[in-house]
């Protein structure tokens, strides 16, 4: 498969009479965009705002973040969701780099997901650096939460395609090519390089805890094998919006940092075989089936080593360590990437489960780490959601100056377990 990602860099967005790109400025025809999005079933009304880096603007609660793109050649849209089912992974994509669609609107009252565009909060989310097109979705009274979630998901994806049209007809010079044949071809080229599989765990447990692969709910699948180009091209999308810090947003799937790094090393240090997507099941039997199957798939592929990333926290920690111990017992080396919940002082046991084989674990941050957020000049979204965070514990909110203390788990992408975030690891 060959995927050419072409980036048009923008650093500002304005509303105007036509959706287009002028130099480094993205112009959006707000009325037309709203008109198109309001055609989506179950949408009562759409509101669009802009949030630029540096502004004292807070966006909360965030449902999903999606990168606006235009497919020049190849399967358009998000196959199986917004467009017909066809394979992703081949073709040419024009990406509006520096922009992001951020969907807001709470499906349940306890949703978190903060993006602060300035100050302390901005340090912890990758989306304080993107020029954000904030899409607020209202639905009619009485629709079921499942319908509400699907509507929000579709509006976000569709918005990314409509805004992406601004990149139509452009030929930027910033081009990145992702080209990889099938395993037999690549192994013939690099017979002596160690074979590495990327095992990507996806939250797959129900409403607001879902992921989709070509539109198929990952709760209904066995672990499956994907060419890395497919994920970079939109085959995997997020339906998860309860865990803010480590939910993999659709934007992060489109720019999966682990896949990108493994691709860089492919043919030089490793033979990157591909991606195994693993559903995190709810029942113990489901976990055993999923983890056994994953280990077997890696073994059948001939992996010498696997990198395993998690999504979420709590019962998925069991899957993470079970996959680790199973692959290690089959003679495959493993490295785990996960966030940790080690308490305010960082001293508690990080995961809910352990295995003696889990000796190489990269931490993407402590979700309990407390940060102090200043009062925002403007809040896009639900002020009640701010109150949820502020009321987290006694003393979390200071009514005098409006500052509040919040744990990293409330900040979107703060401890992203696929590495697409700002925190890093220091060895000392």
Q: Which residues bind another protein (CB under 8 A)?
A: 39-42, 82, 108-112, 144-147, 150-151, 154, 158, 203, 205-209, 217, 219-220, 240, 242-247, 280-287, 289, 312-316, 318, 341, 343-344, 348-349, 352-353, 367-368, 388, 391-394, 409
Half-sphere exposure of 381 (CA within 13 A, CB side): 29
d(CA 114, CA 100): 15
Residue with token string 């799937």: 253
d(CA 102, CA 118): 16
| Cβ atoms 50, 133 nearer than 8 A | yes
CB of 393 to another protein, least distance (A): 5
Give the contacts of 19 (CB within 8 A, at least 6 positions apart).
Answer: 27, 28, 29, 32, 33, 162, 163, 165, 166
Q: Would you tell me how many other CB atoms lie within 10 Å of the CB of residue 6?
A: 21
Give, for 189, the enclosing helix (H) or strand (E): helix 183-189
| Candidate list 241, 245, 298, 406, residue with the active-site label | 241
Q: Do you know the residue count of the chain?
A: 428
| Residue among 341 and 380 whose Cβ is closer to another protein | 341
d(CA 412, CA 124): 8
Q: How far is CA 130 from CA 9, 64, 127, 381, in A?
A: 11, 14, 5, 18
Strand 236-238, strand 211-213: pairing: antiparallel
Cα-Cα end-to-end distance for the chain: 41
Give, for 131, the enclosing helix (H) or strand (E): strand 131-138
CB of 130 to another protein, least distance (A): 24
CB of 95 to another protein, least distance (A): 23
| Cβ atoms 201, 309 nearer than 8 A | yes
d(CA 394, CA 409): 18
Strand 305-309, strand 333-340: pairing: parallel
CB of 222 to another protein, least distance (A): 11
CB of 274 to another protein, least distance (A): 25
Helix runs in 49-130, H state only: 119-123
Half-sphere exposure of 375 (CA within 13 A, CB side): 8
| Residue among 61 and 274 whose Cβ is closer to another protein | 61
CB of 146 to another protein, least distance (A): 5
CB of 205 to another protein, least distance (A): 5
Active site residue 241: yes
d(CA 78, CA 213): 10
| Cβ atoms 46, 135 nearer than 8 A | yes
CB of 92 to another protein, least distance (A): 24
| Residue among 105 and 392 whose Cβ is closer to another protein | 392
Q: Please identify every residue annotated as catalytic.
A: 241
């Amino acid at each position: 498969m060959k995927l050419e990602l072409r980036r048009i860099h923008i650093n500002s967005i304005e509303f105007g009479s036509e959706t287009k790109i002028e130099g480094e400025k993205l112009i959006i025809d707000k009325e037309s965009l709203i008109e198109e999005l309001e055609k989506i079933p179950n949408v009562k009304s759409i509101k669009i705002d802009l949030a630029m880096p540096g502004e004292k603007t807070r966006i909360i609660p965030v449902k999903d973040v999606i990168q606006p793109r235009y497919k020049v050649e190849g399967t358009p849209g998000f196959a199986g969701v917004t467009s017909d089912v066809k394979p992703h992974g081949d073709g040419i994509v024009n990406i509006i780099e520096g922009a992001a669609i951020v969907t807001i609107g709470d499906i349940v009252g306890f949703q978190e997901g903060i993006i602060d565009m300035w100050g302390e909060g901005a340090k912890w989310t990758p989306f304080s650096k993107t020029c954000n097109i904030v899409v607020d979705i209202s639905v009619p009274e009485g629709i079921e939460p499942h319908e509400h979630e699907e509507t929000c998901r579709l509006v976000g994806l569709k918005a990314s395609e409509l805004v992406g049209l601004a990149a139509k007809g452009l030929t930027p010079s910033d081009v990145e090519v992702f080209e990889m044949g099938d395993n037999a071809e690549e192994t013939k080229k690099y017979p002596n390089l160690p074979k590495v599989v990327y095992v990507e765990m996806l939250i797959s447990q129900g409403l607001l805890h879902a992921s989709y692969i070509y539109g198929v709910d990952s709760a209904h699948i066995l672990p499956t094998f994907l060419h890395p180009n497919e994920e970079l091209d939109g085959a995997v999308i997020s339906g998860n919006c309860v865990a803010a810090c480590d939910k993999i947003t659709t934007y992060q799937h489109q720019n999966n940092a682990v896949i990108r790094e493994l691709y860089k090393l492919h043919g030089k240090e490793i033979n990157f075989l591909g991606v195994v997507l693993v559903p995190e099941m709810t029942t113990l039997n489901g976990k055993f089936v999923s983890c056994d199957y994953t280990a077997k798939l890696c073994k059948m592929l001939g992996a010498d080593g696997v990198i395993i990333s998690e999504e979420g926290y709590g019962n998925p920690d069991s899957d993470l360590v079970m996959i680790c111990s199973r692959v290690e017992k089959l003679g495959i080396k493993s490295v785990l990437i996960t966030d940790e919940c080690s308490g305010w002082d960082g001293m508690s046991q990080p995961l809910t489960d352990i295995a003696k084989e889990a000796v190489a674990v990269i931490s993407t941050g402590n979700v309990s780490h407390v940060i102090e957020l200043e009062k925002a000049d403007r809040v896009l979204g639900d002020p009640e959601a701010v109150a949820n965070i502020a009321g987290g514990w006694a003393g979390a909110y200071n009514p005098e100056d409006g500052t509040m203390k919040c744990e990293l788990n409330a900040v979107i992408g703060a401890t992203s377990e696929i590495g697409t975030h700002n925190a890093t690891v220091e060895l000392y």
